[in-house]
A = this chain, B = another copy of it.
Amino acid sequence: MKFFNVKTVTETLAVIAEEFRPVRLPVEVPLAEALGMVLAEDVISGEQVPHFARSTVDGYAVRAKDTFGASDSLPAFLTITGQIDMGRAADLYLHEGQAQAIPTGGMLPDGADSVVMMEHVEEVGDLLNVYRQVAPGENVVRAGDDVEIGETVMAAGHRLRPQDLGVLAAIGRTSVRVYPRPIVGILSTGDEVVPADKRELAPGEVRDINSVTVGAAARQHGADVIFGGIVKDDCDAFLAKAEELYRQVDFLILSGGSSVGTRDFTVQVMQSLGEPGVLVHGVSIKPGKPTILARAGEKPLLGLPGHPVSALIIFHLFAVPILHRLQGIRPSASDKRLPARISRNIPSAVGRSDYVRVKLEERSDGLWAVPVFGKSGLISTLAKSDGMVEIAANKEGILEGEVVSVYVFP
């Protein structure tokens, strides 16, 4: 098979960044359904958080200047005029020389500007001895200290985590605008491929592993999945099924049979689905060279190699960034990989990115990445791995003890 538009990994990622964006319009969902979804709006607060001045300690609300100079030997003397209840408005004004008991989280009464901690006072009937001075604002969170009205609390492109939902709830939002989960279609091809739930295999048959692994990985990365089943090595049947699935989904993944014929069909099918067609035909990478990337209209099409190991590695490298683009996700520094030292020399060819599966081992001197070797296509090597390490195209290999970045499989 000839590859007519071979690109490097970096070039392929640049094509993905350039060519793809959210295909579907944002939707409004209730907060309870928004975990893991990606914001399609800049969230601007319409409220102050907290919306009243609160005490951060158990103690007495006071005017700070009434306590100035107070010490163990020379306490300030104040009059206790009330007690603030949790969850209630503090509606008794606090005048000069007065104090009101206040619990942690209680509302500061008008007139007060600070709170003296319980540990620094003594109650004597209605009188309060204050043994420590406080500054204005001490032990108080002011209205709007957490979030101000008009403040942008979160920007579009952010994937919502539990704490983000907490901020949205705090500012009174009950729903939020997000990008819908992209729908991924998966179609397997190959005369040898039979459904994964077939109990007894005939000689020459293999189960459809890629639908299982790629389907699960797509769900892990925020997509819903429609399985198109398996088509045999027949170009017309392949095209008919691919067209049907293409219409239902936002992103079509074709998991190629390993025969030459099927790979050629994949290119033909991709070219037939719509303009501009094939963008990348072959990537200088091992494993995974026969990767094909195309666009038909707005929708990405990805042709994965047939071998389960290659297919899943290519999924992590290219389908995950495509899914990020379809969900409008902005890259963040927390996508970082895990540094570890490699446990042995690994040679590699210059001009090709190699991806080596590794197991992580915690040793007394830190984290080590131990390569998991095995013939191409052995799915068990992937199950034994914690992640993968890239040997960049400009390197001839990596040396034992060298620090590498491990992409940890989620």
A contacts, CB < 8 Å to B: 31, 35-36, 49-52, 56, 58, 85-90, 103-107, 141, 145-147, 153-154, 161-167, 169-170, 172, 174, 190-194, 196-197, 199, 201-210, 212-217, 219-220, 233, 257-260, 306, 308, 312, 332-334, 336, 338-339, 359-362, 367, 374-380, 382-383, 385-387, 408-410
B residues less than 8 Å from A213 (CB atoms)? 162-163, 165-166
- Supplied contacts A89-B203, A333-B360, 20 more A-B pairs, CB within 8 Å: A35-B219, A49-B380, A51-B201, A56-B375, A86-B192, A86-B204, A86-B233, A89-B202, A90-B204, A105-B206, A141-B375, A153-B383, A162-B217, A163-B382, A164-B383, A169-B212, A174-B196, A333-B367, A334-B387, A336-B338
Closest residue of B by beta carbon distance from A361: B333
The answer to whether B105 touches A257 (Cβ under 8 A) is yes
Interface centre among A146, A216, A410 (most CB of B within 10 A): A216
For this chain, the copies found in one complex come to 2
Closest residue of B by beta carbon distance from A406: B334
B residues less than 8 Å from A51 (CB atoms)? 201, 203
The answer to whether A105 touches B333 (Cβ under 8 A) is no
The answer to whether B220 touches A199 (Cβ under 8 A) is no
B residues less than 8 Å from A219 (CB atoms)? 35
The answer to whether A206 touches B258 (Cβ under 8 A) is no
The answer to whether A196 touches B31 (Cβ under 8 A) is yes
B residues less than 8 Å from A360 (CB atoms)? 332-334, 336
Q: Chain B's nearest CB lies how many Å from the CB of A367?
A: 6
Q: Chain B's nearest CB lies how many Å from the CB of A185?
A: 16
The answer to whether A383 touches B163 (Cβ under 8 A) is yes
Q: Chain B's nearest CB lies how many Å from the CB of A271?
A: 23
B residues less than 8 Å from A203 (CB atoms)? 51-52, 88-90, 107
Q: Chain B's nearest CB lies how many Å from the CB of A139?
A: 10
Q: Chain B's nearest CB lies how many Å from the CB of A313?
A: 10
Q: Chain B's nearest CB lies how many Å from the CB of A150?
A: 14
Q: Chain B's nearest CB lies how many Å from the CB of A134?
A: 15
Given the complex of chains A and B, what is the CA–CA distance between A320 and B37 in angstroms? 22
B residues less than 8 Å from A154 (CB atoms)? 383
The answer to whether A209 touches B166 (Cβ under 8 A) is yes
Given the complex of chains A and B, what is the CA–CA distance between A367 and B306 in angstroms? 37
Q: Assess A332 versus B202: contact at CB under 8 Å? Given A104-B258, A166-B213, A166-B379.
A: no
The answer to whether B378 touches A362 (Cβ under 8 A) is no
B residues less than 8 Å from A383 (CB atoms)? 153-154, 161, 163-164, 166-167
The answer to whether A199 touches B212 (Cβ under 8 A) is no
The answer to whether A163 touches B87 (Cβ under 8 A) is no
Given the complex of chains A and B, what is the CA–CA distance between A387 and B333 in angstroms? 11
Which residue in B147, B212, B260, B334 is a CB contact (below 8 Å) of A380? B147
B residues less than 8 Å from A339 (CB atoms)? 339
Which residue in B166, B220, B408 is a CB contact (below 8 Å) of A308? B166
B residues less than 8 Å from A410 (CB atoms)? 161
Q: Assess A212 versus B104: contact at CB under 8 Å? Given A377-B141, A408-B334.
A: no
Q: Assess A166 versus B105: contact at CB under 8 Å? Given A202-B89, A336-B362.
A: no
Given the complex of chains A and B, what is the CA–CA distance between A196 and B31 in angstroms? 10
What are the 10 tightest A-B residue pairs by CB atom distance, in nearest-first order?
A: A87-B192, A162-B216, A89-B203, A166-B213, A87-B191, A333-B360, A86-B191, A105-B258, A163-B382, A162-B217
B residues less than 8 Å from A52 (CB atoms)? 203-204
Which residue in B146, B210, B333 is a CB contact (below 8 Å) of A378? B146
Given the complex of chains A and B, what is the CA–CA distance between A331 and B292 in angstroms? 38
The answer to whether B367 touches A336 (Cβ under 8 A) is yes
